[in-house]
Amino acid sequence: MGTTADYDSNKVDNRTEEERAIDDWLPITSSRNAKWWYSAFHNVTAMVGAGVLSLPYAMSELGWGPGVAVMVISWIITLYTLWQMVEMHEMVPGKRFDRYHELGQHAFGEKLGLWIVVPQQLIVEVGVDIVYMVTGGKSLQKFHKLVCSHPCKDIKLTYFIMIFASVHFVLSHLPNFNSISGVSLAAAVMSLSYSTIAWGASVDKGVQPDVQYGYKSSTTAGTVLSFFNALGDVAFAYAGHNVVLEIQATIPSTPEKPSKVPMWRGVVVAYIVVALCYFPVAFIGYWMFGNGVEDNILISLNKPTWLIAMANMFVVVHVIGSYQIYAMPVFDMLETVLVKKLKFKPSWYLRFITRNVYVAFTMFVGITFPFFGGLLGFFGGFAFAPTTYFVSVLFRNQGLSHHILSPDDSSLMKCIFS
């Protein structure tokens, strides 16, 4: 589906003018001047989504002991697997694996690699965008109800989802990751802001008088199902790995300064922010409300009204940025197929039609299935968990069997660099 640049500073660029023009047009490879802090807020935006607000509910289904263990271990494991992805971006001298599926193809072969990676990646990215369509619409609806001081006409969720989608019919035409850096920065700031509001307002509300920390289900089967659903919710909350290679592809790289150095610096900053968002919201929210907490902590926090309204608007701004982060690799896949496989000419109207159709599709599914977020547990177990927790380990082991890599190997300093 895509192509990996296969030249370095000591090699000749063998691409034709047409191939070079296509690579300069595609979203992932068109701009390579990002700074390390771009990766920081891109990763924060990709990871700290609206899923953080469901973590107290996940804790209520896991319980104190398993819940704390799952949250902390997930943070450690996903940081490790993300480090692996950053390292593997240039694990082969003369190449940059700019796309997730390119790494899969290197590890498992041209065809098998695509079949292993692309379905999972599309389920994650398209699924997240649909969920964010619904989340954005619901947060707008909640904001409207909170700020409307007089009895207001009840507006259907459908219209709020359409309002949210209208923003993306505009933003989706920004060409690449670097062009949405401002949107991503705003989204990252908003994620930290509404997470702080969530746990801060919980502390202000205090421990509820009738709080209970036991499992809600009265049957063993119900408890087990809830437990696994909570694991899926946690997996969704940590699902930022699907776009990490695409983010790293925007960072310049030379033999003396490989892209993994600034990328890793940004990832460390991002994971500190993740910890500051996830742990207080999950633990304090569960501590205050117990197993009576709602699946969105903001619903449990009705007052102060102005603060909860502000938090909901922060959520809207954040999911606008997150939608774009997850949509960009999909745009790249679609445009790559159209231009390289189906031989369409790269043009603004091809991009205009393709991206509008994608936004319209996610909007339509979000309107048709507003309960889509309820499927997060399933999607978390089916696609989010593999791509986040262990697929990178398989890639590294399989990839290293093709290309033995050691810390002292001078070929590390001869990665590709386009």
Which one of 233-242, 264-273, 338-347, 407-416 scores highest in mean pLDDT?
Answer: 264-273
Helices (H), 211-347: 220-237, 244-248, 260-289, 297-300, 305-336
Q: How confident is the model at residue 362 (pLDDT cuts 50, 70, 90)?
A: very high
pLDDT value at residue 352 = 93
Relative orientation angle of helices 100-108 and 391-402, to the nearest 10 degrees: 50
The answer to whether 414 touches 8, Cβ cutoff 8 Å, is yes
Distance of alpha carbon 313 from alpha carbon 200, whole angstroms: 17
State the CB neighbour count (10 A cutoff) for residue 215: 18
pLDDT value at residue 372 = 58
pLDDT value at residue 85 = 85
pLDDT in tens, 257-298: 888 888 999 999 999 999 998 999 999 988 988 888 877 787
The answer to whether 329 touches 28, Cβ cutoff 8 Å, is yes
Is the overall model pTM greater than 0.85, yes or no?
no
Q: Is the pLDDT of residue 228 over 70?
A: yes
Q: Is the pLDDT of residue 399 over 90?
A: no
pLDDT value at residue 211 = 78
pLDDT in tens, 306-358: 888 888 899 899 999 999 998 998 999 999 899 888 888 888 889 999 999 99
Mean pLDDT of the chain: 81
Q: What percent of the chain has pLDDT over 70?
A: 84
Q: How confident is the model at residue 398 (pLDDT cuts 50, 70, 90)?
A: low
- Which pair of structure tokens corresponds to residue 238? 């940590």
Top-confidence residue, 13 or 119: 119
pLDDT value at residue 415 = 36
pLDDT value at residue 206 = 81
pLDDT value at residue 1 = 46
- For every residue of 71-110, DSSP letters joined together read HHHHHHHHHHHHHHHHHHTT-STT----SHHHHHHHHH-H
Q: Which of 52-56, 90-94, 246-250 has the lowest mean pLDDT?
A: 90-94
Q: Is the pLDDT of residue 107 over 90?
A: no
Q: Mean pLDDT throughout 194-222?
A: 83
Distance of alpha carbon 72 from alpha carbon 250, whole angstroms: 30
Q: How confident is the model at residue 8 (pLDDT cuts 50, 70, 90)?
A: very low
pLDDT value at residue 194 = 87
Distance of alpha carbon 18 from alpha carbon 398, whole angstroms: 33
Q: Mean pLDDT throughout 366-392?
A: 68
pLDDT value at residue 71 = 93
Q: Is the pLDDT of residue 128 over 80?
A: yes
End-to-end distance of the chain based on CA atoms, in angstroms? 19
Q: Which of 178-192, 246-260, 383-397 has the lowest mean pLDDT?
A: 383-397
pLDDT value at residue 3 = 44
Token pair 């309107």 is found at: 367
Distance of alpha carbon 62 from alpha carbon 74, whole angstroms: 14
- Domain ranges for the chain, please list them: 19-395+405-413
The CATH code belonging to domain 19-395+405-413 is: 1.20.1740.10
Q: Is the pLDDT of residue 162 over 70?
A: yes
Q: Mean pLDDT throughout 359-376?
A: 81
Q: Which of 32-36, 135-139, 188-192, 354-358 has the lowest mean pLDDT?
A: 32-36
Q: How confident is the model at residue 10 (pLDDT cuts 50, 70, 90)?
A: very low
Q: Which of 4-18, 107-121, 348-362, 366-380 has the lowest mean pLDDT?
A: 4-18
